[in-house]
Structure 1
Amino acid sequence: MTPKKIEGILAAVPTPLTADGKALDLENIKRQTERYIKGGIHGIVTTGTTGEFPALSVEEQKQVIKAYINAAEGRITVVSGIGCTSTEMAIEMVQFAENSGADAVMVVPPYYDPLAWKELYQFYEDVCGSINIPLIYYNLPHATGVKLDANQLRELGKIKNFDYLKDTSGNAKELTDLLTNPVEGLTAFCGWDTLTFFALAGGAEAIVWGVASIVPRECVDLWDAFQAKDLDKARRLWKFLWEVSDFMEQGSYPVGIKTGHEIICESVGPVRKPNLPLSEEAYAKITTILAKRVYK
């Protein structure tokens, strides 16, 4: 079966927790997924940075992945985020995601001890070779220590099933290179919030965006404006989304996203320590920003 094309606004989604933060709130996953779909988004990405994957046990990650897939019921694209420090565990997780019905997996390079180029290439060959669904490379150099240029990323794109790239490097030059000079077999997405407008103007076929889990309809409106080539409208819509995106990049991303859900009365529970809640000043600021949203 030919995999579906991944495109549009992909909401990076949080992991709902109970009020004490000790357990998963799987029922809330169903409710939030319905809200995201009603908001018109084209897909979701689970268990990534927004989903606090480092704070989840392996079993919890599997439960969250499965719960989002089941809640989506095939109506939107579901990408499962995977972050492992060993090839064996990465293969276990991507195979679990595929067998659970994920449309694709997003795999961050092994972190803590950055891999050399040869090791990195072998890692992705092994992981991609273990599945039959597309893999999205999660380019997150400030967290992984793995810094690749556009040509190295294109080289990785030669690996079977290594089909997409979520660029969260913040390096506009390298992203421009990938968007302006695309190669067969590798499609670049933007995953750096404040570069969203820039990336869409440059032809990005998808945005992986935590902000879309808070204000999905506003994010989809921006996408639609670009598809209609209405740049003036896109600029107007971007003004609000820039404010939200800029705020989210100034602190812990999961904290900002979960706070945003709370403010719009769609709580997904607290973050797990060592992350801490926003300061009163920051909470007041994001409350003021979100009050400007169109759909309430």
Structure 2
Amino acid sequence: MKPLGAEEIVGVWGTVLLPVQKNEAIDWGLLDEEIALLLNTGLHGIYTNGTAGEFYNQSESEFDTLSEKVAAAAELKGVPFQLGCSHPLPLAALERVKRAKSLHPGALQVVLPDWVAPNRVELFRYLEKMAKVADPVGLVLYNPPHAKKYLKPADYRDILSEGFPIVGCKTAGGDASWYKEMASLPQPFSHFIPGHKLATGMQLGAKGSYSNIACLHPKAALKWYESIQTNPSEAKEWEAKLGLFFQEAIFPLIQKDGYSDTAVDKFLAAIGGWSEIGTRLRWPYQGVPMELVLKKRKQLEEIFPGFLPRIRY
């Protein structure tokens, strides 16, 4: 695949979730099935090793196998793909970029150094070397709210003004003034926001989402995206229903019960029923029990009847 420009990174992208067996090994056969399902949905692209992909808990050989499998399958289907090269250790992230670049992804995703937050000079030094190694593939900055160094619109402006080939970001978004600032950046830049805020975000200028709604169900996420394009008022109604479901059924798992975002994303896939990857996380992390799936699916159906397709594909 050729490197993607910022203007080509749009829409709903689905993450590859890690199927973990009881013995902690990755179920590679189940992973192949999951990749095939994602590639057949019509998603605008797929990507590896966001938080939900447990990038921080893979060996380097596992990282390579995962990247190679996704690259080969996506190239065969002609679906855009990005490879997540994040690692808490900057040197390990750099080596992941070196190896993943050879698989010709559309973009490479990275986090900023996280054990010690970088100052401005260190941030530029980090991006300079990462971009040089990744060239000609552009970088997407994965910058969630819990990052030690959380970037504001002014930071993205500084980064782009320095000429670094950063083509996009994955971030939590913000208020209307945040979107206005992001829209005024000095060159094309693809800012993606959380999936459950997509209708409002796109109306304010967001380009798409590395989507938790695609975790819930890829085809349902695409149907909502199409509604945003063709029927904005209906799409906002959908967003309100999804927001209520997350507020009542999903966010308490994080805020009250202490489950991680990773656990919740895998749990969403179990609720949606489109894959058999399960909810188990790698040691020492804890997945949401499968016993809760039917209860939460019923809540979704009560709040938003018909959102989930009836037939598993």
* TM-score, length basis structure 1: 0.87
Tell me the SS of whatever aligns to 1:286: helix
Residues 1:134 and 1:178: Cα distance change in structure 2 (over 3 Å): farther
Aligned mates of 1:106, 1:37 — CA distance in 2: 19
Note the C-alpha offset of 1:111. Answer: 0.7
CA-to-aligned-CA distance 1:257-291 (integer Å, 9 cap, x gap):
22233341622142113322326885454222454
Aligned length: 291
Residues 1:199 and 1:56: Cα distance change in structure 2 (over 3 Å): same
Note the C-alpha offset of 1:202. Answer: 1.0
Matched, 1:275 2:282: no
Tell me the SS of whatever aligns to 2:141: strand
* Aligned counterpart, 1:17: 20
**Paired letter, 1:275:** Y
* Aligned counterpart, 1:204: 206
* Aligned counterpart, 2:257: none
Tell me the SS of whatever aligns to 2:92: helix
**Paired letter, 1:260:** L
Gaps of 5+ in 1: none
Q: Residues 14 and 45 of structure 2 are in contact (CA less than 8 Å); yes or no, is this contact kept in structure 1? A: yes
Matched, 1:156 2:159: yes
Tell me the SS of whatever aligns to 2:167: strand
Q: Residues 150 and 177 of structure 1 are in contact (CA less than 8 Å); yes or no, is this contact kept in structure 2? A: no
* Aligned counterpart, 1:177: 180
Note the C-alpha offset of 1:74. Answer: 4.8
- Correspondence for 1:101 among 92, 100, 104: 104
- Correspondence for 1:256 among 261, 264, 281: 264
- Which shifted more, 55-64 or 106-115? 55-64
* Aligned counterpart, 2:3: 3
Tell me the SS of whatever aligns to 2:102: helix
* Aligned counterpart, 1:294: 308
- Which shifted more, 258-267 or 126-135? 258-267
Tell me the SS of whatever aligns to 1:79: strand
**Paired letter, 1:138:** Y
Note the C-alpha offset of 1:116. Answer: 0.9
**Paired letter, 2:28:** L
Note the C-alpha offset of 1:157. Answer: 2.0
Aligned mates of 1:204, 1:141 — CA distance in 2: 17
Residues 1:90 and 1:294: Cα distance change in structure 2 (over 3 Å): closer
Gaps of 5+ in 2: 255-259
* Aligned counterpart, 1:226: 228
Residues 1:265 and 1:233: Cα distance change in structure 2 (over 3 Å): closer
Note the C-alpha offset of 1:209. Answer: 0.9
Identity of aligned residues (%): 21
Q: Residues 56 and 87 of structure 2 are in contact (CA less than 8 Å); yes or no, is this contact kept in structure 1? A: no
Residues 1:75 and 1:240: Cα distance change in structure 2 (over 3 Å): farther
- Correspondence for 2:33 among 31, 34, 37: 31
Aligned mates of 2:55, 2:23 — CA distance in 1: 14
Note the C-alpha offset of 1:204. Answer: 1.5
Q: Residues 85 and 97 of structure 2 are in contact (CA less than 8 Å); yes or no, is this contact kept in structure 1? A: yes
Aligned mates of 1:283, 1:219 — CA distance in 2: 19
Aligned mates of 1:125, 1:30 — CA distance in 2: 35
Matched, 1:53 2:55: yes
- Which shifted more, 69-78 or 285-294? 285-294
**Paired letter, 2:119:** A
Note the C-alpha offset of 1:99. Answer: 0.6
* TM-score, length basis structure 2: 0.83
CA-to-aligned-CA distance 1:198-227 (integer Å, 9 cap, x gap):
211112122111320331111111211222
* Aligned counterpart, 2:275: 266
Note the C-alpha offset of 1:238. Answer: 2.5
Residues 1:86 and 1:276: Cα distance change in structure 2 (over 3 Å): closer
Tell me the SS of whatever aligns to 1:207: strand
